[in-house]
Amino acid sequence: MAKKTTKDKKAVEKIDYAPIRPQLITETIEKNYMPYVMSVIISRAIPEIDGFKPAHRKLLYTMYKMGLLTGGRTKSTNVVGRTLTLNPHGDAAVYETMVRLTRGYEALLHPFIDSKGSFGKQYSSDMKYAASRYTEVKLDTFCNELFSGISKDAVDMVDNYDGTLKEPVLFPTTFPNVLVTPNMGIAVGMASNICSFNLAEICDGTIALLKKPNLPTEKLMEIIKAPDFSGGGQIIYDAEQFKSIYETGQGSFRIRSRYSYDKVNNCIDILQIPYSTTIEQIMDKIAELVKSGKVKEITDFRDEIDLSGFKLTIDIRKGTDPDKLMARLFKLTPLEDKFSCNFNVLIDGTPRQLGIAELLTEWIKFRTVCVRRELTYELGEKKAQLHLLLALGKILLDIDKAIRIIRRTEKEEQVIPNLMEGFTIDEIQAEYIANIKLRNLNRQYILNKIAEIEDLKREIENLEELLGDEFKIKAYIANQLNDIKKKYGQPRKTQIIQVDNVPVFEEPKVESYPVYMVLSKEGYLKKITMRSLQGNDEQKFKEGDSLLTAFNADNADELTFFTDKCKVFKCKVDDIETTKASLLGDFVPAKLGMDAGEKPMYVTTQQGYPEGANMVFIFENGKGVRVPVTAYETKAVRRKLTSAYSDASPVVAILDDTDKKPRDVMLISSDNRAIAIKTALIPQKTTRTSSGVTLMTLKKGQTVTSVQIDVEDTKGYKKTKIPATGVPIMGEQLKID
């Protein structure tokens, strides 16, 4: 390596390093993190009162400016390219936003984009949309309700990201789109998940609130019955559950698929599925159930989606009751799913969680401002038109004078001042008169124009009266909502079934009968009936394998396996196939999904989690602990628990006992010493991972190598206090394989 020259050393010495200033974490969050958080919340993930996120608004406004509200379709790639002038986040993101708004994707009750080509489907994760160069789009006529007042100053316009164009802050939607279009967004520290409602019901509910702002929730629920999804399905209606959602904007409800039974082909046709799931998720779960043997009535199932719509066909065995099978599948698969509501909306730039009445009230406030601005704009236009026509009325009195003034004016710039002076009119009126074509300077034309003055005066009077009366503004909004309902209203797609009318699925009761369980050290488990056991009691094991434990059980019991990796696995005895003593049995690690090399060390059988029952763990370092079996109880149906016991020292023995019936255990150390104690002496800890207390004092380098359980002859080794020092083993009676 070359040595540094004097010149290089001087250059290094001249570097002026900035001092490192310690910064409080709160200051870092405030200055560096909070701007990002607010940007995600306000400018990306949470919808506003018009029901749109910025990405949706920029795309639709671009299409509006392109003239796609009335013209023919254009290639999607044209729209994507033009949208980048407002939304510079990449063409892929813009196109994905477009896809979700199209009629072809089938995600919306009222699509905003009329599409041609392949756009995938909302109910399938495998059906992908075609590239933007192949598909075509235009705005649906429904979008007239988004842009109706945008040219009349109904909303504020702001600069785009580089200040070259103007775009609307919000759309002046003539209906509460925030509750008609489903919307989901995940921000930082908050999220939004708004389900769609039927447009006709929302219009009726809004009209009811316009008439009676303090409308009780129960009355609103009679009008807006429940959410309505583009994919249909059936909502399981619980009145109290929905009342909470309507009032707080938070909660969940269940939605299930709709099906029909084809007697001729002996199959079930699933025709509609929950909005929150996909056909692939459903088929994967059905395949899992069929493969595991939990559902034996299904012989085949397949995706039969075609141009006519959604269809999932399930072939069933002869004699199967389709309704009972579907009740079971509703419980075990996403054919019945849960939709979680979180009505988080930006109101004046502030995220708020609102109930339905509150959301509609906020929309009414927003819409009232839009209507006032539209009417004020129209009033100004009509007043300006009247102002010009009044000047035309003065011209009518002496048309020849107007012509004479223009003819005798020597310079063009004097025409306007001369007309102003000759007819006592202002500059705007004079400019209007000067621009009238010569062919229109006839009495008939001027009289026809002047006839409009009275109509304009009446319209101006009506507008001023409307703007001055809050009740008339509300009536105006209500009339618009009625018109929208008549024009775009549709019957409900999602059916409502009362929770009391839903058949309750009960898992078939497991047959109860005695069995004999045999577990080998390698993890092979056999379930043998007592009749089979009487015929052949010779147990066969794999070469190199041997018996770990054997015990009596009931077919209705639950098995709990403790592994050498500090985990617990659970399964029903009924889940184990009945076999013979001469066979190897089920390989537990594979059946329960254990990790590679993981083996069961102990298995216990029980019905429930009785008080006073414990698991006892004795470790290599001479410590032990008792953990109540209730510590392994779970509310959900979980087959696996991690951190089942402490990993501070290798476990030597696992056993179970009860507070009323403690067991005798003998600990044997590597230096050939032993102690015998009752498990009642071992302290109980409620934490599963407790490392326990010292039971046997060991010299440095010594460990507990084995534990004998239920030893009858403990004379000379019995201890009544812990920790206890081991007694040297005499004779051969304690030698263990």
pLDDT digits (tens, 9 = 90+) for 622-657: 999 999 988 888 765 567 888 889 999 999 999 888
Residue 505: pLDDT band by 50, 70, 90 thresholds? low
Reported as a single tens digit per residue, the pLDDT across 331-351 is: 999 999 999 999 999 999 889
Domain 371-467 = CATH 2.60.40.1170? no
CA dist., res. 621 & res. 723, Å (int): 12
Candidates 268, 276, 326, 235; CA nearest to 123 is 276
CA dist., res. 500 & res. 236, Å (int): 9
CA dist., res. 524 & res. 544, Å (int): 12
- What are the structure tokens assigned to 592, written together? 């329960």
Q: Is 175 in contact with 199 (CB distance < 8 Å)?
A: yes
- The neighbour count for residue 344, using CB atoms within 10 Å, is 23
- The neighbour count for residue 688, using CB atoms within 10 Å, is 20
CA dist., res. 561 & res. 599, Å (int): 9
Q: Is 189 in contact with 176 (CB distance < 8 Å)?
A: no
CATH number of 52-172: 3.90.199.10
CA dist., res. 57 & res. 219, Å (int): 33
- The neighbour count for residue 102, using CB atoms within 10 Å, is 24
Q: Rank 490-499, 505-514, 578-587 by mean pLDDT and report only the highest.
A: 490-499
Q: What angle (nearest 5°) sits at the alpha carbon of residue 582, between those of residues 577 and 583?
A: 40
Set 36, 134, 161, 513: catalytic member: 134
Q: Is pLDDT at 114 greater than 90 in this prediction? A: yes
Question: What DSSP letter does each residue of 125-162 carry, written as one string?
Answer: SS-PPPPTTT-EEEE-GGGHHHHTTGGGT-S-EEE-TT
3-state secondary structure 328-386: HHHHHCCCEEEEEEECEEEECCEEEECCHHHHHHHHHHHHHHHHHHHHHHHHHHHHHHH
CA dist., res. 620 & res. 707, Å (int): 10
- What are the structure tokens assigned to 207, written together? 């009209």
Q: Is 570 in contact with 638 (CB distance < 8 Å)?
A: yes
The predicted model scores a pTM of: 0.73
Reported as a single tens digit per residue, the pLDDT across 457-499 is: 999 999 999 999 999 999 999 999 999 999 999 999 999 999 8
CA dist., res. 460 & res. 263, Å (int): 68
| 267-272, strands of its sheet edge to edge | 258-262, 267-272, 312-316, 298-303
Mean pLDDT of 715-726: 87
- CA 584 to each of CA 75, 520, 526, 545, 561: distance values in angstroms, whole numbers, following the listed order: 65, 9, 7, 10, 18
Q: Rank 201-210, 562-571, 606-615, 629-638 by mean pLDDT and report only the highest.
A: 201-210
Task: Mark residue 627 as left, alpha or beta (left: phi above 0; alpha: psi -120 to 50; beta: remaining).
Answer: beta
Q: Is pLDDT at 81 greater than 90 in this prediction? A: yes
Q: Is pLDDT at 529 greater than 90 in this prediction? A: no
pLDDT at site 374: 95
Using DSSP, state whether 658 is helix, strand or coil.
strand
Q: Is pLDDT at 300 greater than 50 in this prediction? A: yes
Mean pLDDT of 708-723: 83
Reported as a single tens digit per residue, the pLDDT across 148-176 is: 889 999 999 999 988 999 999 999 999 99
Q: Is pLDDT at 452 greater than 80 in this prediction? A: yes
Q: What angle (nearest 5°) sits at the alpha carbon of residue 270, between those of residues 266 and 273?
A: 165
pLDDT at site 218: 94
Span 258-334 CATH architecture: 2-Layer Sandwich (3.30)
DSSP 227: B
CA-CA-CA-CA torsion for 522, 528, 532, 535, nearest 10 degrees? 40
Percent of the chain with pLDDT over 70: 95
**Can 134 be counted among the known catalytic residues?**
yes
Name every residue whose Cβ is closer than 8 Å to that of residue 280 and which is 6 or more positions away in sequence: 124, 125, 126
Backbone angles phi, psi at 574, to 5 degrees: -65, -25
Q: What is the mean pLDDT of the chain?
A: 88
CA dist., res. 516 & res. 539, Å (int): 12
- CA 546 to each of CA 49, 525, 541, 542, 706: distance values in angstroms, whole numbers, following the listed order: 70, 12, 6, 8, 17
| 651-658, strands of its sheet edge to edge | 651-658, 613-619, 623-628, 693-694
Q: Is pLDDT at 735 greater than 50 in this prediction? A: no
* Cα-trace Rg, the chain: 40
CA dist., res. 569 & res. 641, Å (int): 6
CA dist., res. 183 & res. 192, Å (int): 7
pLDDT at site 69: 94
Q: Is 108 in contact with 143 (CB distance < 8 Å)?
A: no
Q: Rank 41-50, 275-284, 395-404, 530-539 by mean pLDDT and report only the highest.
A: 275-284
Residues in a beta bridge with 344 = 353
**Residue type for position 554:** D
CA dist., res. 339 & res. 227, Å (int): 10
CA dist., res. 478 & res. 597, Å (int): 70
3-state secondary structure 232-282: CCEEEECHHHHHHHHHHCEEEEEEECEEEEECCCCEEEEEECCCCCCHHHH
pLDDT at site 241: 93
Name every residue whose Cβ is closer than 8 Å to that of residue 87 and which is 6 or more positions away in sequence: 54, 55, 58, 59, 93, 94
Q: Which of 19-23, 234-238, 355-359, 576-580 has the lowest mean pLDDT?
A: 19-23
CA dist., res. 91 & res. 81, Å (int): 7
Q: Is pLDDT at 205 greater than 50 in this prediction? A: yes
pLDDT at site 421: 87
Domain ranges of the chain: 52-172, 258-334, 371-467, 509-607, 612-622+652-737
Q: Is pLDDT at 708 greater than 50 in this prediction? A: yes
Q: Which of 91-95, 282-286, 635-639 has the lowest mean pLDDT?
A: 635-639
- What are the structure tokens assigned to 191, written together? 């999220």
CA dist., res. 734 & res. 737, Å (int): 10
Mean pLDDT of 188-199: 91
Mean pLDDT of 63-81: 94
